[in-house]
Structure 1
Amino acid sequence: MKNYHILKSFCKKIFLIGSGNFWYEERVIGDDNRISYKMLKYILFSIYGFMTLFEIMAALIGDFPEDEKSDSVTFAVSHTIVMIKIFSVLSNKELVKQLISDLIKVCEVHEDEILMKEKYKIIKINVAAYFLVVYGSAACFVSEGLRKMLEGSHFVTIVTYYPQFEDNSPIATVVRVFSTIVLFIMMLTMIVSVDGFTVAILIMLKYKFITLRNYFEKLSDDFEMALKRENPRIAADKLTKDLIEGIKMHKELIRLSKEIDKAFGTVMALQLCQSSGSAVSLLLQIALSDQLTFVAGMKIFFFVFALFFLLGLFLCNAGEITYQASLLSGSIFYCGWHLCPSQIPQQRDLRSLVLLASAQAQRPQVMKAFKMLDLTYGTFLLVIRGTYSVFALFYAQNQ
């Protein structure tokens, strides 16, 4: 599938779950300026906000048993970060619209159908796997709540300031069930509007660099065939024109990398903080608890796995962009300029163009969190090692 259809499908889903219209074409998906749609969006995000506020209150001033207190802290931190991530994307809606339009157009005429099918498959696998991991984690929290209910306590998934632990009234039960439903809807908004959307954009940019690399590599074969069919001067002129077009596409991809960082940089940076910070807290719950049930252990394990899985999707796909961009220098250098006869005046111009373009491509194309920390494979491994080191330190002090 072409980028146009993939992103349009994503924007349709984002619109349907109430996050607004991110599509750049007017009156194609829907009107998010309608009063009814604005009311739906306001109500939806107000519910998310109040639930997160009650989670924060439960963590700070709530009186709950140790296990529910730990859950309240975990959810308060995680859902606060989720809300910030959602609003960071919503606040950049116009930027995202323009980004989508530009991302679709760049390199579009040179995209290979087989490569596009591979890209679409990878996007589906990444987003579907993340969807399963997130809802697998949520299902474990529901299972633990059901276990508590069967043992004579009350059903609970997320812990909010109201109802209190001792409150087992019908209204309290309704509030707890309603909070669980809100949790599942909020996770859908997070996956589709923020995390899955960000992953899809990163994968698309990666394949744009692959398409550009294939374009430069094809120039050499085309120039060699043109030398056999046409006048060397005409063939050299065509190579120069095609090389300049490739340089313009490369310049546009560099610009789009910066635009992606503006639109989704906060999402990736916050995920970096959430994955490392929350993981330490969750792992300590497993290590220090003497009465942790199997289901309770599984819910914490799934939560930690979901946090690192998403971080891996962000950092590894961002790292792939850096890697694919680094291969452009060699592809540009072997674009065929060396096959141009030395007596042709264009040969000197070609050589200068290739040297300048290769030098530009050798500058590392690295996406950053908070404009400081590189989003690469190395950072992902560094976060995992750092998280384990902090966990081991706290664990040793508490023994």
Structure 2
Amino acid sequence: MQSLKSRIGIQKTATKEIYTFETNTTVSLFYKICAIVFLGCGTNLMFDDLKLPRKVVKICRIVSKVFGLLVLMLVCSASIASFTQHNLDMMHKAKLWLFGPPLVALNAMQLNCVLRKNQIKKLSYTIAVVLRGMFTVDELEVEMIKKTWRLSIAFALLLNGLFISTGIVNGYVASTTNETFTVIIPAWPDLNERSLTASISRIVHYCLWYLVIMRVCSVYFIILAIIIGLQFQFSIMCNYFHSLNSIFAGEDSHEEKQRKYEDAFKFGIKMHSLTLWCIDQTQVTCGVAFSSQFITNVVTLISLMVQFMYIERTFGNCLPIFLFVGVTLTATGIFMWNAGDVTFEATKLHTAMFHSGWHNCRGQASVRVRKLLTIAIRQAQDPVTIKGFGILELSYESYISMVKLAYSIFSVLSQK
């Protein structure tokens, strides 16, 4: 029996795996996204070499290592600030939690994707090349590409808008009040220190936060492309099984039509099996990302609610909190909603199988097809879910549950 790698067109050499494929629109989508990922974090997640100048590649790799070290320093500074900063009021403690644990979780997610880059390459290759080569619907493929770019751009704009607006608001507060310009509470300097060195250090911490945004955002692009690709893969398979009815409209003999239908149905089962493998691999490669996103947003929402409870409710104080809440809920929703769409589209598949035209078969062909159909429908009825922590299904319902959980924890903490 052939291994999975040989069946999907992967050859392994002494140094690396070589992927054989022909370019299509989905491959072009993944190529462009992986080029953005490479420029953002210096890691090539594309199953092919990026057609970038050698100097650009070399510079990106060096710069990425330097940026990675700076980001690590920022994470350490934000994480140990609770031990070095004393006499913090409740609002500043909430701000400390707003950046400390989320920075650790997001960088763990980014590191996990880098460590699993070969698995991500194989997964994206299977979605973009193998499955699309088996069957595709041009209209759905175009819609998939538009949705991927639309949500990716929206996600990038949200994070960049948050970074800029937070800087503007904190700068305005620092220039009009006695507060210092402190977006991220650092291990050093003390919040009340007003020397030039301390001010530069706070600005550097703020700028390093953008490096985190850039690196995490770029990795999120490939995760989003994979999720949306799987969502539309189930839609494409539904179209495939519905199209099998047309086999019996041809001019061949009925026996020949039955044979063609049986072979086509088996081919559809193989396609479904490979898609389920992609779901499992998505859970393995991106599970840390989904878990990190959940942790980040629960902690962020709790911290923001605590800040809102203790601040003086002026427009300048409330604006950054509202921006953070809006970006947090929207960014999380982009991933959880699309993961939920994968589950929703998968529920349509068993119905498409049932309406594929099996009733046109007769005799022994009918017996064989009904057996295949029963097994295939039974497998298609199993819920297809993407989970965080291996247990939390990502869906519309779990999105609401996450928000309720954050508010419940905040309510308990505020009563103490």
Match of 2:118 among 80, 90, 94: 94
* Corresponding residue pairs, total: 390
Offset of 1:360 from its aligned partner?
1.0
Summarize the alignment of residues 305-344 of structure 1 with structure 2, pairs less than 5 Å apart.
305-340=326-361, 342-343=362-363
Offset of 1:172 from its aligned partner?
2.4
Offset of 1:239 from its aligned partner?
0.7
Q: Does 1:23 align with 2:78?
A: no
CA gap of 1:69–1:147, structure 2 versus 1, over 3 A, is: farther
Query: Which position in structure 1 is the counterpart of 2:264?
Result: 242
Query: Which position in structure 1 is the counterpart of 2:190?
Result: 164
Offset of 1:32 from its aligned partner?
11
Whichever residue aligns with residue 391 of structure 2, its letter is M
Out of 329-338 and 27-36, give the one that drifted further: 27-36
Query: Which position in structure 2 is the counterpart of 1:106?
Result: 130
The answer on whether the counterparts of 1:217 and 1:332 sit within 8 Å (CA) in structure 2 is yes
The answer on whether the counterparts of 1:64 and 1:165 sit within 8 Å (CA) in structure 2 is no
CA gap of 1:267–1:156, structure 2 versus 1, over 3 A, is: same
Return the TM-score normalized by structure 1: 0.91
Offset of 1:33 from its aligned partner?
12
Summarize the alignment of residues 234-313 of structure 1 with structure 2, pairs less than 5 Å apart.
234-287=256-309, 289-313=310-334
CA gap of 1:214–1:279, structure 2 versus 1, over 3 A, is: same
Distance in 1 (CA, whole Å) between partners of 2:114 and 2:56 is 14
Summarize the alignment of residues 189-208 of structure 1 with structure 2, pairs less than 5 Å apart.
189-193=215-219, 195-208=220-233
CA gap of 1:60–1:303, structure 2 versus 1, over 3 A, is: farther
- Deviations for 1:90-139, whole angstroms, at most 9, x for unmatched residues? 11111111111111123314222221221122112222222222223223
CA gap of 1:308–1:330, structure 2 versus 1, over 3 A, is: same
CA gap of 1:392–1:86, structure 2 versus 1, over 3 A, is: same
Distance in 2 (CA, whole Å) between partners of 1:261 and 1:32 is 35
Summarize the alignment of residues 1-399 of structure 1 with structure 2, pairs less than 5 Å apart.
2-26=25-49, 28-29=51-52, 37-63=60-86, 65-66=88-89, 67-109=91-133, 110-151=135-176, 152-193=178-219, 195-220=220-245, 222-226=246-250, 229-287=251-309, 289-340=310-361, 342-343=362-363, 345-395=364-414, 397=415
Q: Give the gaps of 5 or more residues in structure 1.
A: none
Whichever residue aligns with residue 243 of structure 1, its letter is F
Offset of 1:253 from its aligned partner?
0.3
Out of 50-59 and 252-261, give the one that drifted further: 50-59
- Tell me the secondary structure at the aligned position of residue 107 of structure 1: helix
The answer on whether the counterparts of 1:24 and 1:100 sit within 8 Å (CA) in structure 2 is yes
- Tell me the secondary structure at the aligned position of residue 230 of structure 2: helix
Distance in 2 (CA, whole Å) between partners of 1:126 and 1:61 is 40
- Deviations for 1:274-323, whole angstroms, at most 9, x for unmatched residues? 21232122112212x14243233221222222222232222211111111
Whichever residue aligns with residue 108 of structure 2, its letter is I
Distance in 2 (CA, whole Å) between partners of 1:328 and 1:30 is 44
- Deviations for 1:346-388, whole angstroms, at most 9, x for unmatched residues? 2221121111111111111112222222222221122222222
Distance in 1 (CA, whole Å) between partners of 2:269 and 2:128 is 18
- Aligned-residue Cα RMSD (Å) equals 2.2
CA gap of 1:263–1:363, structure 2 versus 1, over 3 A, is: same
The answer on whether the counterparts of 2:101 and 2:299 sit within 8 Å (CA) in structure 1 is no
Offset of 1:6 from its aligned partner?
0.9
The answer on whether the counterparts of 2:95 and 2:307 sit within 8 Å (CA) in structure 1 is no
CA gap of 1:325–1:300, structure 2 versus 1, over 3 A, is: same
Percent of aligned pairs with the same residue?
A: 20
Q: Give the gaps of 5 or more residues in structure 2.
A: 1-23
CA gap of 1:119–1:38, structure 2 versus 1, over 3 A, is: closer
